[in-house]
């Protein structure tokens, strides 16, 4: 199986998800490929973020694929984000709750233009407050139809469904999503644009049990509710479809050597 939503890094100033912990956990859970970003972004110098990313890519033996988490400050510092693309990222992550991104502002549109030019998907955290609820991204999904946009967590679920029905470029991941919400995507005919995501190992912050145990329990519950065929779609087949768009070849000698999308 694959996992679209994994993290390494510092979390809320309380926990640290080391690259070692993440690599070992994903291996123990038999996740063949996972897409991750660093929760340290913005709270430590970028050189540390870079080190975390490179370490996890290395330790994972090619299973870990990085997304670049972008803050408004990073865009100010490097208007084309060129200073941060030190390796071949598979996408961009925007956290509109944690960082103050105006969903209708120009800076966010600049990020989307960069993603369009680089043929990269953009993952939006959804939920938590009005400016990061799924519905606010309807406009940007319409404005950038060639950019694949992932509404991570799909919150609130009705807004997420509405955006996905309107915009064929909108996808959702299942990180911290209830089983009922995942089943709803199937009932609404949207299961082919849902990607399995877990937020591993962030569950360690919320639940008093090992992250791997939570993961196994959650995987079991979702696969039982969806059945084998649809579970295989969200954990495997849909990933193939998602990454089927031909990406531009970049001749960056600094590209992370082990990342082969
Ligand atoms: Zn997350």
Whether 249 shows a pLDDT value over 50: the answer reads no
Question: How many angstroms does the Cα of residue 132 sit away from the middle of ligand 1?
Answer: 13
176 SS3 class: coil
pLDDT of residue 256: 53
For residue 22, the CA-to-ligand 1 centroid distance in Å is 13
Ligand 1 ion: residues within 5 Å (CB): 199
Please give the structure tokens belonging to residue 214.
Answer: 């939570």
Sheet holding 15-17, edge to edge: 15-17, 2-11, 33-38, 64-69, 91-94, 122-125, 149-152, 170-173, 194-195
* Residue 253 pLDDT > 50: no
Q: Is the pLDDT of residue 257 over 50?
A: no
- Pair of tokens at residue 201: 């190992």
Cα of 92 to ligand 1 centre, how many Å? 13
- Whether 87 and 54 have beta carbons less than 8 Å apart is answered as yes
List % helix, strand, coil for the chain (3-state, nearest 5).
45, 20, 40
pTM equals 0.93
pLDDT at 125 over 50: yes
Strands in 174-233 per DSSP E: 194-195
Cα(95) to centroid of ligand 1, in Å?
A: 9
Whole-number pLDDT of residue 13: 87
Ligand 1 centroid vs 19 CA: distance in angstroms?
15
258 CA distance to ligand 1 middle (Å): 23
- Distance of CA 124 from the midpoint of ligand 1 (Å): 10
Give the whole-angstrom CA distance, residue 103 versus residue 115: 16
Cα–Cα distance for residue pair 261/158, rounded to 1 Å: 32
Q: What is the DSSP letter of 141?
A: H
pLDDT tens profile 223-245: 999 999 999 999 999 999 999 87
Give the distance (Å) from ligand 1 centre to CA of residue 106: 24
Ligand 1 geometric centre to CA of 203 (Å): 10
Average pLDDT over residues 183-190: 98
**Cα(128) to centroid(ligand 1), Å:** 12
Domains delineated in the chain: 2-242 (3.20.20.140)
């Amino acid at each position: 199986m694959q996992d679209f939503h994994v993290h390494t890094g510092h979390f809320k100033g309380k926990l640290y998800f080391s690259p070692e912990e993440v690599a070992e956990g994903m291996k123990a859970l038999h996740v063949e490929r996972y897409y991750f970003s660093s929760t340290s972004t913005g709270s430590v110098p970028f050189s540390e973020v870079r080190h975390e990313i490179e370490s996890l890519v290395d330790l994972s033996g090619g299973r870990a694929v990085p997304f670049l988490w972008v803050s408004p400050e990073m865009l100010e510092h490097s208007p084309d984000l060129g200073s941060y693309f030190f390796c071949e990222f598979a996408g961009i992550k925007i956290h509109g709750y944690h960082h103050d991104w105006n969903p209708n502002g120009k800076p966010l549109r600049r990020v989307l233009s960069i993603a369009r030019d680089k043929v990269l998907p953009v993952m939006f955290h959804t939920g938590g407050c009005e400016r990061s609820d799924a519905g606010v991204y309807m406009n940007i999904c319409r404005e950038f139809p060639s950019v694949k946009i992932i509404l991570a967590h799909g919150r609130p679920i009705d807004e997420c469904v509405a955006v996905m029905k309107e915009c064929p470029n909108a996808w959702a991941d299942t990180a911290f999503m209830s089983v009922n919400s995942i089943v709803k995507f199937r009932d609404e005919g949207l299961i082919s644009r849902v990607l399995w995501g877990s937020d591993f190992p962030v569950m360690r912050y919320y639940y008093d049990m090992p992250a791997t145990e939570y993961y196994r329990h959650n995987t079991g519950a979702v696969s039982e509710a969806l059945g084998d065929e649809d579970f295989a779609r969200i954990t495997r087949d849909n990933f193939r479809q998602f990454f089927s768009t031909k990406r531009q070849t970049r001749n960056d000698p600094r590209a992370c050597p082990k990342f082969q999308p």
